[in-house]
């Protein structure tokens, strides 16, 4: 996991979980820019704007937290993109959404059992591969889009 931080916000990025939906790039290109290094520039927008965009991340690869002394209202940092989002809700229902010509989006606490039988506790959001083409299975890496994978129905 990589971190980008300043006095008001910490952005956490887990590249292995990224489904490359591009929501962050489209919604806040001043912060999320693949042509820059580092590709996350948290100085380019307000922490509140960054939080709004990360809350929309379908894979859960982007998360945020507030460092001690942050000037951000902690109530704004309790959305689905919060690093400790599971502790903000008593809901134990897993939501699964099928995206047309895309991955399965999971949100909530769940257990993931890998092909070797290893089980891990998961919380928050993630995108699971539906096309079988991802190099990061069971997670989606956006290969379906690059290869033109489509579902007939």
Q: Check if the beta carbon of residue 81 is closer than 8 Å to that of residue 54.
A: yes
Pairing between strand 110-113 and 119-122? antiparallel
> In terms of pLDDT, which residue wins out, 19 or 33?
33
Measure the CA–CA gap between 92 and 147, rounded to whole angstroms.
Answer: 35
Could you tell me if 71 and 137 lie in one domain?
no
**Where a domain ends, among 86, 104, 122?**
86
CATH number reported for the structural domain that contains residue 24 in this entry: 3.30.70.20
pTM value is: 0.72
Q: Is the pLDDT of residue 119 over 80?
A: yes
Structurally, the chain folds into a number of domains equal to 2
CA angle 121, 126, 131 (to 5 degrees): 115
List the domain range (segments joined by +) for residue 105: 95-147
pLDDT in tens, 58-108: 888 999 999 999 999 999 998 889 998 755 445 577 888 898 898 998 888
Q: Check if the beta carbon of residue 84 is closer than 8 Å to that of residue 72.
A: no
């Amino acid at each position: 996991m990589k971190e980008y931080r300043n006095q008001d916000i910490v952005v956490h990025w887990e590249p292995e979980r990224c489904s490359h939906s591009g929501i962050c790039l489209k919604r806040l290109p001043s912060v999320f820019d693949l042509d820059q290094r580092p590709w996350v520039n948290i100085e380019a927008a307000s922490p509140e704007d960054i939080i709004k965009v990360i809350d929309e991340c379908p894979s859960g690869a982007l998360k945020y937290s507030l460092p001690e002394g942050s000037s951000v209202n902690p109530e704004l940092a309790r959305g689905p993109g919060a690093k400790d989002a599971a502790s903000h809700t008593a809901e134990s229902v897993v939501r699964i959404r099928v995206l047309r010509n895309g991955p399965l989006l999971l949100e909530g606490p769940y257990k993931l059992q890998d092909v070797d039988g290893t089980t891990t506790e998961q919380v928050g959001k993630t995108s699971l591969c539906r096309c079988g083409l991802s190099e990061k299975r069971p997670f989606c890496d956006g290969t379906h889009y690059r290869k033109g994978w489509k579902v007939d129905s």
